[in-house]
Structure 1
Amino acid sequence: MASEAPPFWWEQPDWRAWGLWPASALYGAVAGRQMRRAARVKVAAPVLCIGNFTVGGTGKTPVAIAMAKAFRARGFTPGILSRGHGGSFGKPHLVDLHHDIARHVGDEPLLLAAAAPVAVSADRQAGARLLIEQGCDALIMDDGFQSARIHIDFALLVVDAARGIGNGHVIPGGPLRAGLVEQLRFTDAVLKMGRGTAGDLVIRKAARAGRAVFEAQTRLVPGQDFVGRRFLAFAGIGNNAKFFDTVRDAGGELRGTRSFPDHHAYAEDELADLERSAADLDARLITTAKDAARLQGWSPAANRFLEGVDVLEVETAFDNPTATQRIIDATLAAYKQRRAVSG
């Protein structure tokens, strides 16, 4: 993940990226072959995939939540497929917000489950069947674009406008999960998230390839007020710096920051250290909704810790208010076409 990844991945390519080029070429060849030859099993519901070109946080989860709400507003019963990073279930599992915790299902599924039923499974075909059995008539894949285990009717790939695709190299020399051109072959639209020019290369290539381009921003969920308040911000997500910037943009004064790896399992001594540091700085602790979900139910100490932490919650706002409907329409059209072809 980005917070665990070498910093040079997000800089101009240097000797390290070029030195790893042979390994990147091999990785990219294998990943591209997988995407081209994957079985892509067709399921009995339209499938919208929210993916990204790189490892690390681009804001996919809030986008998946926004699309689930949009499907529901259209009269559908959407379900969300998630691999569930760090989860412990060996077979497909429906997330239960009242009983499941992050160590069981992963942190992102807990956030997603507030918007729609979520099936956590490494086997996305089995997860899709479980959701359909539960009455879901539209499926949203949170990631899973590169694995291509089920047929995707519409693939929307998110790119962070401020970071783009980093140095443009494939793992392990850079953050790309496969070659950019190879990934664009299977992409229906690109969503530019946030402000910045680092993602413009992807947008230009997508436009030249005839792919639709959408833009969106991350904004605070209404009802939150951080203006003029002093914080020690901590996070363990794909792009911690983006979260810290969001706190500043919301009017909070950052007295300090603490970064942890993505999906970090906080130890009790780390929580105690955060509390001491905040007290020394005369500041409140603040973190992400994803980190809060991971801490909830982790231990009695973690639950007590959360009582003294502010949680910054964000949502996706598309620049064009018709964007979600256009994405849904395209997904449904593709689904109807494949159903007609299959008879």
Structure 2
Amino acid sequence: MREPAFWHRPSSLASHLLRPLSALYGAVAAHRLQREGINAGIPVICVGNYHVGGAGKTPTVLALTTMLRELGERPVVLSRGYGGRLRGPVMVDPGRHTAADVGDEPLMMAAHVAVTVARDRVEGVALAKSQGASVILMDDGFQNPAIVKDASLIVIDSERGLGNGRVFPAGPLRAPLSPQLARTDALVVIGPGHASEPVAARVTSAGKLVLTAKLQPAPDIVSGLQGKPVFGFAGIGDPARFFRTLRANGIDLKQERIFADHHPFERAEIEQLVSEAGRQGLTLVTTEKDLVRLRTRAELASLATQILAFPVTLAFDDAAAVRRLLTDSLFKARQKTFRSVG
């Protein structure tokens, strides 16, 4: 879905009229958060959002994957596989699966880390453990109570913050903020903006950790695009962040085109983009996640060769603090499991 514009305005008639539905949705979501989940038997670290839409979960998961491996761990990512047809549990195989099978984000991550997709997250945990996982990284699922989380890192974009701060459908929040804050172990603020400061202050006042980070593109990609006029398009949760990242890296972005998150591109749409860019002498650029969806569809694969991906990685400003959080969380989770077994 494409987020309605009123979600990111302080007040609006549409948001006001939706408040009764928002109250009902919020009450159900808050009650669901109180449910007890199962203990996975190995540490579970969740990377989530307070709100619907994107904020940088995937690059955060991949950055944590690298850190966990440096700590000697064997992480396996657990994903619901949004946008894919397979219910799972299934281990994602980039040589066999397409984005239509398992979702674009799991397929993209599977090039870097073992990923299991499962609608039923308890079944996904069992499969991950059978693959030798020493720790599970949950990609999303913060509001899902099925599994006990040993640490929850919440990702927020510094430019967008929480929008109007209201619960869906009156705003972007997946549940009332207070019960979500109570289950937060760390907030990861991505980017140099200020819209996230109010929620960051609440996390800090609760004695929880606030981490800052930035998205960094590959230097060779940046140097290859600098000096060229670019046509950027994206079908992700926050396309504006993608366009900001291009401009922040000195890319001459002449044209922008926005599609809904996880948009299932049609051949005619891509042909139009390629034709439009060609007529204007522009280089067509999209996100790594969008290009995965294009490359794995037979009817779009040839067109995808005319499009460049702009991959980014996440860099924490205080990597040592993140490592301390991970090691503390792993130790406490294993201590808890040892006591329950003993």
- Please state which band the TM-score falls in when normalised by the shorter chain: over 0.9
Letter in 1 for 2:114: P
1:173 is matched with which residue: 147, 161, 170? 170
Q: CA RMSD in A?
A: 1.2
1:285 — aligned with what? 284
Aligned length: 339
14-23 vs 277-286, which deviates more? 14-23
Q: Which runs of 5+ in 1 are unaligned?
A: none
1:143 — aligned with what? 140
- 1:45 to 2:47 alignment: no
1:234 — aligned with what? 233
- 1:11 to 2:9 alignment: yes
2:156 is matched with which residue: 152, 155, 159? 159
1:89 — aligned with what? 86
CA deviations on 1:79-132 (whole Å, 9 max, x unpaired) are 000011111113301000111110000000012112211000111111111011
Question: 2:85 & 2:241 partners in 1: Cα distance?
Answer: 29
2:204 is matched with which residue: 203, 207, 210? 207
- 1:328 to 2:326 alignment: yes
Return the TM-score normalized by structure 1.
0.96
329-338 vs 113-122, which deviates more? 329-338
Letter in 1 for 2:83: G
Correspondence list, 1:78-117, <5 A: 78-117=75-114
Letter in 1 for 2:217: L
Question: 1:112 & 1:146 partners in 2: Cα distance?
Answer: 22
Question: 2:7 & 2:104 partners in 1: Cα distance?
Answer: 25
Please report how far the alpha carbon of residue 163 of structure 1 lies from its aligned counterpart in structure 2 after TM superposition: 0.5
Letter in 1 for 2:328: A
Please report how far the alpha carbon of residue 333 of structure 1 lies from its aligned counterpart in structure 2 after TM superposition: 2.6
2:304 — aligned with what? 306
2:179 — aligned with what? 182
Please report how far the alpha carbon of residue 221 of structure 1 lies from its aligned counterpart in structure 2 after TM superposition: 2.5
Please report how far the alpha carbon of residue 255 of structure 1 lies from its aligned counterpart in structure 2 after TM superposition: 1.9
1:56 is matched with which residue: 39, 42, 53? 53
1:243 — aligned with what? 242
Letter in 1 for 2:57: K
- 1:121 to 2:104 alignment: no
Describe the shift of the 1:45–1:222 C-alpha distance in structure 2 as closer, same or farther (beyond 3 A). farther
Return the TM-score normalized by structure 2.
0.96
1:65 — aligned with what? 62
Aligned to 1:223, the other structure's residue is in SS state helix
Question: 2:227 & 2:324 partners in 1: Cα distance?
Answer: 39
Question: 1:272 & 1:339 partners in 2: Cα distance?
Answer: 54
Question: 2:83 & 2:21 partners in 1: Cα distance?
Answer: 27
Aligned to 1:98, the other structure's residue is in SS state coil
Percent of pairs with identical residues? 39
Letter in 2 for 1:324: V
Letter in 2 for 1:23: L
Question: 1:341 & 1:212 partners in 2: Cα distance?
Answer: 27
Letter in 2 for 1:298: R
Question: 2:322 & 2:301 partners in 1: Cα distance?
Answer: 36
Please report how far the alpha carbon of residue 285 of structure 1 lies from its aligned counterpart in structure 2 after TM superposition: 0.4
CA deviations on 1:58-87 (whole Å, 9 max, x unpaired) are 000000000011111111111000011111
CA deviations on 1:34-79 (whole Å, 9 max, x unpaired) are 0012x31111211100001001110000000000111111111110
Aligned to 1:322, the other structure's residue is in SS state helix
Letter in 2 for 1:30: V
1:32 — aligned with what? 30
Please report how far the alpha carbon of residue 33 of structure 1 lies from its aligned counterpart in structure 2 after TM superposition: 0.3
CA contact (8 A) 1:111 1:290 kept: yes
Please report how far the alpha carbon of residue 208 of structure 1 lies from its aligned counterpart in structure 2 after TM superposition: 1.2
- 1:274 to 2:282 alignment: no
Letter in 2 for 1:55: V
Question: 1:178 & 1:184 partners in 2: Cα distance?
Answer: 10
Question: 2:149 & 2:114 partners in 1: Cα distance?
Answer: 19
CA contact (8 A) 2:87 2:117 kept: no
Question: 2:265 & 2:13 partners in 1: Cα distance?
Answer: 35
Please report how far the alpha carbon of residue 14 of structure 1 lies from its aligned counterpart in structure 2 after TM superposition: 2.2
Question: 2:4 & 2:266 partners in 1: Cα distance?
Answer: 24
2:261 — aligned with what? 262
CA contact (8 A) 2:42 2:334 kept: no
CA contact (8 A) 1:154 1:334 kept: no
1:315 — aligned with what? 313
Aligned to 1:115, the other structure's residue is in SS state coil
